[in-house]
Amino acid sequence: MLKIVSGDITKISVDAIVNAANTSLLGGGGVDGAIHRAAGPELLAECRMLHGCKTGQAKITKGYRLPAKYVIHTPGPVWNGGSRGEEELLKSCYESCLKLAAERGCRTVAFPSISTGIYRFPLEKASAVAVRTILSFCQSHPEIEEVQMVCFDERTKGFYDSALQKENILHIEF
Ligand code: APR
């Protein structure tokens, strides 16, 4: 089941939170910076041993001082106008994270809005990709009991709320 909530992902106590990282996995600004600050220095120490991560792929670490047990790091695509496979790469971020979460036995997962900050991915497209990908993955993986999309501001939440409403309407049996 997918819930759209407002809040700070570093405070959400779920099995795994997702980090909108960069390919170095060595921290950054935005949610990446917030997660590293809240998790403490051991997170960076573990990330150093992962030797980076390709855009659209995902790697998992412990959560350390975070309430979440794990952090799943995924570098989203930088928006370059939409003709460089950005939507496919964003879809792959959500799928890779959920696959890793299921493999690790996570029942609850929280995502930030990947790529819609510093990476400038338009919110309308990103929220549609995210909602569609999460819902279809969860349909075939009931072991993932709950996914939260944690929005840091009201504008972002508005896009995810309407993306979810559109998907739900599409799936109402007539
Ligand atoms: N909790 C939840 N969401 C947050 C938080 C937080 N504490 N802080 C920021 N966000 C939101 C932003 O408001 C935005 O909606 O996360 C979303 C993603 O924005 P960014 O963090 O800028 O991530 P992204 O656009 O994917 O850019 C990734 O930024 O921080 C660097 O190292 C990172 O180079 C990478 C790039």
The number of the ligand 1 atom at minimal distance from the alpha carbon of 20 is: 26
| Mean pLDDT of the chain, nearest integer | 97
Helix 123-140, helix 154-170: angle, nearest 10: 50
- 3-state SS, 69-82, equals CEEEEEECCCCCCC
The number of the ligand 1 atom at minimal distance from the alpha carbon of 76 is: 26
Contact 121, 77 (CB under 8 A): yes
Distance (Å, whole) CA 76 – CA 64: 23
Residue whose Cα lies nearest atom 14 of ligand 1: it is 117
Report the pocket of ligand 1 as residue ranges, CB < 6 Å.
Answer: 8-10, 20-22, 28-34, 76, 112-119, 150, 152-153, 156
pLDDT at position 84, please? Answer: 96
Amino acid present at 119: Y
Calculate what percentage of the chain has a pLDDT beyond 70: 98
pTM, two decimal places: 0.98
